Homo-oligomer: A and B are copies of this chain.
Amino acid sequence: MRHFVSTRNLSSKYIFLILNKAEELRLQQEKLPEQIFVANLFFEPSTRTKMSFSVAQRKLGMETLDFQMETSSVTKGETLYDTAKTCEAIGANLLVIRHQEDNWYDELTPNLSLPVINAGAGRGEHPTQCMLDLLTIYQEFGTFTNLNVVIVGDIKHSRVARSNAYALTTLGANVYFAAAPGFKDDTMNFPYISIDEAVEKCDIMMLLRIQHERHTAKQYDSTSYLVQFGLTKERESRMKDHAIILHPAPVNRGVEIDTELVECQRSRIFKQMENGVYTRMAIMIILLKEWGYHNETNPNKCKKIN
């Protein structure tokens, strides 16, 4: 793997390499012995992903180059390619990029001599979010084979749905979609079921955020959306005992999910965020090692303190 931009062609073996490394990092601190520079280029808003990468980088002892789009030369018309080449020239060893185009990495990666991680690509993919979702499932069930995963909500505008649907299929899970009219996506071939079927069938209910900022008009009233298509308390009560709830956040409270369920017993929403740090550490270490920026024969490991 030269870059980490999509789950579409990720092998099962490679996914487990990441998941097992992430679990190792959760239990044991590790600092890279090299001075590694990472540029985080976020062209779209982010709290979780950006902060998660930032914590992951500091835990590994990396130097983070923060880039503020609004005060960058992008305001003077500079392209993504030239911005990326600039980071390379200035000494970055790794790029973490979120950008509004669905496939920005296709043209970018062939001309760069450093690894690129996709931290969100328009309505395309969000593969690091997928990996942390998978880690959360893996911690819970220890396997993916024959698990019923229902991805619920604004499938059409969701890069999270796409990355998870590909990877979960690779891992042998059964993927279903549940979506309100207008939120379905014709470009992916997975069976649609109703939200009421979903709550009873699923081992994992993977809720999505309604991407208001990608819609041209508000399509549903919040309360009626929850009642018709969201996870109400009544629906939650019909889920299997062992079934868990995931959501990539930020949550639209009272829309996709009843606000009281956000921190309920079967919710793993904040656990997902915690797992994001270890997952991103794992992906960065694996890429840096593959590119020769990190030499694992010179480890700097120590038992975790707290």
CB < 8 Å: which of B77, B90, B270 contacts A276?
Answer: B90
Q: Is A63's CB within 8 Å of the partner chain B?
A: yes
- A273 to B92 alpha-carbon distance, docked (Å): 12
Interface code A20-42, partner B: CB below 8 Å = 1, 0 otherwise? 00000000000000110101001
- A51 to B73 alpha-carbon distance, docked (Å): 11
Q: Is A260's CB within 8 Å of the partner chain B?
A: no
A37-B58, A71-B69 given as contacts; is B213 within 8 A of A76 (CB)? yes
Q: How many copies of this kind of chain does the complex include?
A: 3
CB distance from A205 to the nearest CB of B (A): 19
Please give, as numbers and ranges, the residues of chain B lying within 8 Å of A262 by CB-CB distance: 82
How many of chain A's residues have a CB under 8 angstroms from any CB in B?
59
Tell whether, in the assembled complex, residue A86 and residue B249 are in contact, meaning their CB atoms are under 8 Å apart.
yes
Q: Is A226's CB within 8 Å of the partner chain B?
A: no
CB distance from A225 to the nearest CB of B (A): 14
Please give, as numbers and ranges, the residues of chain B lying within 8 Å of A83 by CB-CB distance: 47
Known: A35-B59, A47-B72, A86-B273. 4 other contacts (CB 8 A): A39-B51, A45-B72, A47-B86, A55-B63
